[in-house]
Structure 1
């Protein structure tokens, strides 16, 4: 097997977006197949891979999930192993997640675990969301591959390498994309009375959307409605027939997400009446909150406190979104942040996580999964 450092760099070169990870899947399979042992089973689902390491004395099935997709971001790191796919980059650390998961497969292939360990290489975390359909397929078609409990990690740029940060209960928020299209009547700027101006309609709707959190959400709750992009018009003397708002919704409760969407729909209906136009809404990818099982989260923290070279930290919840929440909605388990020590944040074109995190996390996760016992 190649060195893990070389594997990570080769994966970094070939980022692919959700459900199009053909090169990534092929590359992963070439590594995994070389690690095969009689007690290892390899299955595929769409562009994902499921590796089962059957235990020598199994009392339960422990899952470990890694995501495998990249982002539509043009890389700006200047690295010798930068993305070879123009316009795409592993800007969220999934190349590290995959490498750690491969390191776990290697470790368990060399030393069979007592409990069965199932490692999921899941596609499409960044969108449109691979966790929910993968879990649904497992539950309906392959219940033998459904774990009793499941864990995962995500790199955290702001923490030093060796930091393991998590918490019982909510770790990441409910999230939803938001796309609003407005259609009116365009025309010459000199004859506004013959048009239905969608620049004006969209601008007013965007301002109204900002009142939802401040006037409809309990101040003791937390929520975000952000419009990050607005497009309309073609040239300065033509009134826009079409406009589009693109944004995101993030909440700390599923109930608040429902309320916000209800208010968005009401404001859009009001906009249709006020500006005599048509408004359509697309929520895109919506992810359920990452809700850590209390026992699993505390076991992670307890183990981290005793593990050499690791610092345990009970962190606050974040407005970050992660489709691992769909696994935790149905299965007990936990996710944790792991320190990556980089000055650039997630999804930034210049993000360069510290490669030292690979070996630290393989050792930590391997030993944690070997020692974990689940309460019944």
Structure 2
């Protein structure tokens, strides 16, 4: 078996054709497992986690280990109906790899294939992680005690594809790469009534509108302008007809910040606004804020310095220093527990962003992504 004999494009297209949602990635996991087992590597061990049955871990025993190096890829898809018209478009209705996790998995398999054939110097752990898009699969696995003893990496690496960057380009930065995120789920309940007699009702729509406007002041008046933050309400549902004041309104949104302390402060301000408005309008605010494992992706100084130095000096790598992004990623939780580095891999579809039903990553990004990581990890193990 040689990496040149593995058809990574065919693998990626299969994964793209059959996407599965968070914690339902059973066929995806089985497909990955079959490929890995077919290599029959004598230094390779597979581990499954019964409490998270779609997770897959692979351990490679090093020839002269000084550390354990971890590499993580996410495997789930999004509840989006694909509109690319590609011949290998999703066959699972309403589900699509619109965030490029099929690219992530394929690069991971390419890197793993190399070290399954050429024994690494250090021990290696490859994590094929479910439920990145929701339910924070990385945090679940960590809290189950998955990463202990010989299964605990000393450092962790992961990529995220970036459509706005040229195919194959690699970029990262010291410090925070991605924001931490918190989901907002709010139900407002009151006493409905006739639109002509608002004084006899408790208007949940007015209360909802006030909440939407009030939370917009949290960032502008509470967050240090050089830190950055975002609060967006993307869902507001209430009522069925224009002349009736409804009993209930439902809102959903997101809080994002580059620093965990800012994120926690913003959460508290949202709670305080909800409490005040509930009193003001005489309605009930049922507010749920859920951060889970979506912490800021804070790149470790030491591993990131090594990664950036290597990539910048390798003439075969198209490397750039990136700016931080408000994108959320549950790898942030893992590298707040285990030092590591996340980076962008450009996939050259500038017309369509992540989570777009028309996203069509350029598959030519896969090979340079694989080879850059193989070379870096080989170099890293000699340090």
Q: Which range, TM-score by smaller chain?
A: over 0.9
Which position in structure 2 is the counterpart of 1:194?
Answer: 200
How many Å apart are 1:342 and its aligned residue?
0.5
Q: How does 1:4-15 map to 2 (within 5 A)?
A: 4-15=8-19
Correspondence for 1:300 = 307
Scaled by the length of structure 2, the TM-score of the pair is 0.94
TM-score, with structure 1 as normaliser: 0.96
* Contact persistence 1:138–1:145 (CA under 8 A): no
SS in 2 for 1:173: strand
Q: Say which of 184, 188, 191 aligns to 2:190.
A: 184
The 1:284–1:17 alpha-carbon spacing in structure 2 relative to 1, beyond 3 Å, is farther
Match of 2:253 in 1: 247
2:370 corresponding residue in structure 1: 362
Is there any run of 5+ residues in structure 1 with no aligned partner, and where?
none
Q: Secondary structure at the match of 1:102?
A: helix
> Please, what is the CA RMSD of the aligned residues?
1.5
Shift of 1:219: 2.3
The answer for the alignment partner of 1:288 in structure 2 is: 295
Distance 2:335 2:192 in 1: 48
Alignment of 1:324-363 (within 5 A): 324-343=331-350, 344-363=352-371
Q: For 1:272, what is the secondary structure of its paired residue?
A: helix
- Deviation string 1:140-165 (CA, Å, 9 cap, x unpaired) is 7x432110111011111111123111
Q: Distance in 1 between matches of 2:381 and 2:109?
A: 23
What is aligned with 1:117?
124
Q: How does 1:166-315 map to 2 (within 5 A)?
A: 166-286=172-292, 287-315=294-322
Counterpart of 2:36 in structure 1 is 32
Q: Equivalent residues in 2 for 1:3-152 (5 A)?
A: 3-45=7-49, 46=52, 47-138=54-145, 142-152=148-158
Q: Tell me how far apart the structure 1 counterparts of residues 80 and 100 of structure 2 sit (CA, whole Å).
A: 13
Give how far 1:97 is off. Answer: 0.5
Write the deviation string for residues 62-116 of structure 1: whole angstroms up to 9, x where unpaired.
0000000001111110111111111111011100111111112211111111111
CA drift of 1:270 comes to 1.1
SS of corresponding position for 1:356 = helix
Work out whether residues 35 and 105 of structure 1, in 8 Å CA contact, stay in contact via their aligned partners in 2. no
Residue-pair matches, total:
374
Distance, in Å, in 1 between the alignment partners of 2:173 and 2:43 is 34
* 1:18 and 1:129 in contact (8 A); partners too: no
Mark the CA change 1:374 to 1:295 in structure 2 (over 3 Å): closer, same or farther. Answer: farther
Indicate conservation of the 8 Å contact 2:122/2:381, yes or no: no
**Structure 1, residues 29-53: CA drift from partner, whole Å, max 9, x if none?**
1111112322100011221100111
**Greater Cα shift, 160-169 or 300-309:** 300-309
Gaps of 5+ in 2: none
- CA deviation after TM superposition for structure 1 residue 176, in Å: 0.9
**Matches of 2:270 and 2:12 in 1, distance apart?**
42
Alpha-carbon deviation of 1:306? Answer: 2.8
Q: Distance in 2 between the 1:118 and 1:220 partners?
A: 37
Per-residue CA distance 1:190-212 (angstroms, 9 max, x = gap): 33222111111101111111111
